[in-house]
Chains A and B, each alone.
Chain A
Amino acid sequence: MAKDKQNKNGVLEEVTSSEYKYGFVTDIETETAPMGLNEDIVRFISAKKNEPEWLLEFRLIAFRHWLTLDEPNWALIDYPPINFQNIIYYAAPKKKKELESLDEVDPELLDTFNKLGISLEEQKMLSGVAVDVVMDSVSVKTTFQDTLAKHGIIFCSFSEAVQNHPDLVKKYMGSIVPYKDNYYAALNSAVFSDGSFCFIPKGVRCPIELSTYFRINAANTGQFERTLIVAEAGSYVSYLEGCTAPQRDENQLHAAIVEILVMDDAEVKYSTVQNWYPGNKNGKGGVYNFVTKRGLCQGRNSKISWTQVETGSAITWKYPSCILKGDNSIGEFYSVAVTNNYQQADTGTKMIHIGKNTKSTIISKGISAGKSNNSYRGLVRVSKNADNARNFSQCDSLLLGDQCGAHTFPYIKTANPTAIVEHEATTSKISEDQLFYCQQRGIDSEKAIGLIVNGYAKEVLKQLPMEFAVEAQKLLAITLEGSVG
């Protein structure tokens, strides 16, 4: 028995000490803003990006509002205070001339993508995914522009959208996540450097999956990207987002905003695999990930589906939400959050039922190992006029090891008697029986745990598009195999 335990500990050690696979620094020249944050920096960013006056105004108003706010501290996360003056708010790879094809791309950059396993060429050939890579806040290359243009779909970096489609950006930016929304939303509104913009016109079903990749590269930089997706009536798009950051000792700040607007009968499927650098096994370094993501189902029969696999970041603070305003609209949230070592995740969703016959589903799977803490925090609100609203929530937590924590904080607010709201949650450790069964059949404990955890998270993983599902499964396995308490 003791030997067995020792064995397990050995495996645990080995696995939990496995290095962050994506930690490498790409040596590309970057152009950075001076460190610190003040109105001049905001003006600097705006000027660098050649922005119109109204956008600068928007930034400045947000910045002045941000100064009046206090950092939120209600989440179950613990970190030393962030010195916002100690961050570089703008870092762009040095601009060369506009690129026509991949051949012209810096070979080192291409190499980076290869290491990430998202080779542009490969993706071009095999999966037909259009990729917009955001590296250190500036969008580098967008593929498949032409194919998309045929359908009238706009998919480009946020800065390009500002230049080429200012009316659309002006109309929708900040309409779902206003700069006043919260501390980090205000910060982002003031200093966002780039991001993605996606517009699907009426009746168009996007033929390919759209994808962006975010990567923090330079030291001391925060990444503040902004994504805006607008789906007009009757349209459909599946949007993927992946994130990695190089391995560094100091903490990097990431505060993004994602806004999604969905009109009548339209549907947006948004999937993320978040794998920012989580810090080393002693909890040093890692990304602070404070993200505001919100979708508005404005039209009738509209639908938003969030799927997220969270394996990275030292701290995750993220609540992708749905405002179900249109009648019969549907919101879905599928999440797997894995924490190991000293990672802390406080994540969940908000489903705000406003329209009649609105439905929402929440499936959240938390897995904690090492000395990490993993919390689900979610709100389901049924407002007075949301007749026949229906919600089902299930939040399960799995504990691997006796030093970690798993927490559930659901908030249910119902003010309509025809609503049906159900919440259930369980917390338990990995089943000894299942482990034993696998081991009996010659599967070593490391693999067995990978298997069981993947099975446990299957409900969520199956929501992911194929390419992502494979990556997500690998990530789960890397983070967790063998972590038996």
Chain B
Amino acid sequence: MQKNYKKSFLLEQNLIHLFKEKKSELFGNCHPKVALSRQQAFDDFQAKGLPTTKEESWKNTNLSKQYEDIFQLDNPLTELDKSAGEIFQCDIHGFDTDVISMLNGWYYSPEGKQLQILENGIVVGSILEAQKAYPEYFDSYFDEIAKGRNHGLTAVNKALFRDGIFIYVPDGVEVEKSIQLINIVNRDEKMMINSRNLIILGKNSKLSFLHCDDSVNHNPGFINTLTEIYIGENACLDLYKLQNINNETALLNNTFIKQELNSRSKVNVISLNGGIIRNELNVEFSGEGADADLNGIYLMDHEQHIDNQVFVNHAVPNCNSSELFKGVLDDSASGVFNGYIYVARDAQNTNAFQRNNNILMKSTAKIDTQPFLEIYADDVKCSHGATVGQLDEEALFYMMQRGISRQDAYLLLMYAFTAEVTGKISIEALQSNIEDMIKKRLRGELAICEKCVLHCGHPDIPLEFEIDMSKV
């Protein structure tokens, strides 16, 4: 009935048309569960349409400009793209990673290996290849977490995704080197990219995964990513998301995590730049004794918009979750934080904490924060807090008294504000790199670099504040 009131967007029509046109290609050769998920999602999309500000959870994030834009929706990988991929490299000083990349929405390996088996049986590669090579994992895990949890854009992703990453860590394997996914968009046309990732951690395994979203040029784009992560018993996941895309691009990052008995997850979402960024993080505990530590930083300016939606479902007893999201909004930037903790009946002994702190720098910046709790069990400790404020004038004054310029004092305080989150990054080299990037970002020096964002933190020249130490 609601559908009648809704006008149909150009993008909506184009997406429906694309699905019908490419149906045989999308369904050809795919795992039955993938096919089922595509069809169900498409039906759902036709019923729901693209999410608009009339929907409660999209009230503060407006994508209508994107909805009326013409995007290149189907982008087969060309040789030209590949040559751009060749020059793309990434190197974090003092931090050795296994790099995998997505290029314009396709898994790309310079060696041409679409699926690799690393030491200890770790499988890394394209989701398209994986569904053929490992149908048994798709039987048990694909779409198990994200099933039915759709808004219009997740449905678009499920119906139309072309490629994505697949990672499988076998039972008992601790992956020593972090795996880094670099998601690059480099095309002259405007593109909409739908990619879908599946990550499986077996029992007692361990993985640290770095997910970087970068844009290489300044073309407008629409990136819509869906990631399902299954964390087995006693397994441990470190997930870092680094987002540094151009001001014309909308990035939608939808992550579903399911945690089994005594598993642990640690998520850090670092949003440095982007036209519109929406991160949806869904964590569900399905085994007791699990623990989730979810953190985020966002530093937005100009007309940028950031939207963090964090949903934690305490479905079983004895789990802990903690959320800490901090942000600085400058110029005409706008921010949204929507935290939702759900404690099911009988999920006793739950500890759930949630905090969102914001600093507004200018009168044109704004923030909407909604830290929600819905609790149906009584033996719980839940708390949430949200603040909006400014930097402490007295602290500024104190520093200026001691010879630190107002500008530096400002930066120092903002840096200290974010340090609470960056301090939680457990890989030291990564932590110092991210801290450097934040310093650069705060100084306005961080541009979208030609290569990976992490490359631009020149490790040899340490970034320091200009403080006249003699006066301190």
**Which residues does A use to contact B, with CB under 8 Å?**
74, 76, 382, 384, 397, 399-429, 485
Pairwise interchain contact B346-A402, C-beta atoms closer than 8 A: yes
Cross-chain contact A420 with B345 (CB below 8 angstroms): no
> Nearest residue in B to A389 (C-beta to C-beta)?
B388
Assess the A410–B372 pair: CB atoms within 8 A.
yes
Q: Is B348 in the interface zone, CB < 8 Å from A?
A: yes
Q: Which residues of B contact A (CB under 8 A)?
A: 56, 345-346, 348, 358, 360-363, 365-390
Q: Please tell me if the beta carbons of B387 and A422 are within 8 angstroms of each other in the complex.
A: yes
B372 touches A407 (CB 8 A): yes
Contact between B379 and A414, CB atoms less than 8 A apart: no
* Contact across chains for A424 and B363 when beta carbons are under 8 A apart: no
Across the interface, do B388 and A425 meet the contact criterion of CB distance under 8 Å?
Answer: no
Q: Which residues of A contact B368 (CB under 8 A)?
A: 411-414
Is there an interface contact between A402 and B360, defined as CB atoms closer than 8 Å? no
Residues from chain B with Cβ under 8 Å of A409 in the complex: 370, 372-373
- Helix, strand, loop or mixed for chain A's interface? strand
Please, which residues of chain A bring their CB within 8 A of the CB of B382?
426-428
Contact between chains at B385 and A423 (CB < 8 Å):
yes
Beta-carbon contact of B345 and A417 below 8 Å: no
| B384: A residues at CB distance < 8 A | 408, 423-425
Whether B360 and A410, one on each chain, are in contact in the complex, defined by CB atoms closer than 8 angstroms, is no
Report which of A406, A414, A417, A423 forms a contact with B375, defined as CB distance below 8 A.
Answer: A406
Given A412-B369, A417-B363: A404 touches B385 (CB 8 Å cut-off) = no
Bound CA–CA A28/B17 (angstroms): 70
21 pairs, CB–CB < 8 Å, chain A vs chain B: A74-B56, A397-B373, A402-B378, A406-B373, A407-B372, A407-B374, A412-B368, A414-B358, A414-B360, A416-B360, A417-B362, A417-B365, A418-B363, A421-B388, A423-B371, A424-B383, A425-B371, A425-B373, A427-B383, A428-B381, A428-B382
* Interchain CA distance A484-B375 in the complex, whole Å: 17
B113 to chain A, nearest CB (A): 49
Indicate if the CB atoms of B385 and A417 lie closer than 8 Å. no
A411 and B370 contact, CB distance less than 8 A? yes
A414–B372 contact, CB under 8 A?
Answer: no
Known: A414-B358, A423-B371. 7 other contacts (CB 8 A): A399-B378, A401-B378, A406-B373, A413-B367, A415-B366, A420-B389, A422-B385
Question: Which chain A residues border B358 with CB–CB below 8 Å?
Answer: 414
Determine if B385 and A408 form an interchain contact, defined as CB atoms under 8 angstroms apart: no
A415–B377 alpha-carbon span in the complex (Å): 36
CA distance A415 to B60 in the complex (A): 13
B372–A399 CB distance below 8 A:
no
Interface hub of A400, A404, A412, A413 (most chain B Cβ within 10 A): A412
Contact B380 A429 (CB under 8 A): yes
B376 touches A405 (CB 8 A): yes
Which single residue of chain A is at the shortest CB-CB distance from B376? A405
The reply to whether B380 and A428 contact each other, CB–CB distance below 8 Å, is yes
Query: Per a CB cutoff under 8 Å, which of B373, B379, B385, B386 touches A429?
Result: B379
Set of chain B residues within 8 Å of A403, measured between Cβ atoms: 345
Q: Which residues of A contact B371 (CB under 8 A)?
A: 408, 410, 423, 425
Chain B hits for A405, CB < 8 A: 345, 374-376
Question: How far does the Cβ of A431 sit from chain B's closest Cβ, in whole Å?
Answer: 11
Residue of B nearest to A414 (CB): B388
Q: Is the CB of A412 within 8 A of B386?
A: yes
In the complex formed, the residue of B with least CB distance to A391 is: B388
A425 to B378, Cβ gap below 8 A? no
Minimum C-beta distance from A405 to chain B (A): 4
**B386 in complex: contacting residue of A399, A401, A417, A423, CB < 8 Å:** A423
Inter-chain contact A410/B378, CB cutoff 8 Å: no
Q: Is there an interface contact between A427 and B385, defined as CB atoms closer than 8 Å?
A: no
Q: How far is B379's CA from A400's CA once the two chains are assembled, in angstroms? A: 9
Residues of B within 8 A of A407 (CB): 372-375
A416 to B379, CA, bound (A): 39
Residues of A within 8 A of B376 (CB): 404-405
* Complex interface: chain B residues within 8 A of A421 (CB): 386-389
B372 touches A400 (CB 8 A): no
Smallest CB separation, A142 vs chain B (Å): 44
Q: Nearest Cβ in chain A — how far from B131, in angstroms?
A: 40
Residue numbers in A under 8 Å from B346 (CB-CB): 402
Please indicate the chain B residues that have their CB under 8 angstroms from the CB of A485 in the complex.
Answer: 378-379
| Most chain B Cβ neighbours within 10 Å, of A403, A426, A427 | A427
Question: Residue on A with the closest CB to B384?
Answer: A425
**Chain A residues positioned under 8 Å from B362 (CB to CB):** 417
Distance, CA A14 to CA B26, complexed state (A): 64
Whether A417 pairs with B361 at a CB distance below 8 angstroms is yes
Bound-state Cα–Cα, A485 to B348, Å: 12
**Cβ contact within 8 Å between A399 and B373:** no
Instruction: Give every chain B residue within 8 A of A423 (Cβ-Cβ).
Output: 371, 384-387
Q: Once bound together, how far apart are the Cα atoms of A74 and B54, in whole Å?
A: 13
The 5 closest A-B pairs by CB, nearest first: A399-B378, A415-B366, A417-B360, A427-B382, A424-B385
Q: Are B379 and A397 in contact (CB under 8 A)?
A: no
Q: List the A side residues contacting B378 at CB < 8 Å.
A: 399-402, 404, 429, 485
Q: Tell me, in angstroms, the Cα distance from A48 to B379 when the chains sit together.
A: 55
Could you say which residues of chain A place their CB within 8 Å of the CB of B385?
422-425
- In whole angstroms, what is the CA distance A342 to B369 when docked? 31
Q: In the complex, what distance in Å separates the CA atom of A154 from the CA atom of B257? A: 62
Q: Which residues of B contact A425 (CB under 8 A)?
A: 371, 373, 383-385
**Which residues on B sit within 8 Å (CB–CB) of A408?**
371-373, 384
Distance, CA A76 to CA B386, complexed state (A): 22
- Of chain A, the residue at the smallest CB distance from B360 is A417
A397 touches B363 (CB 8 A): no
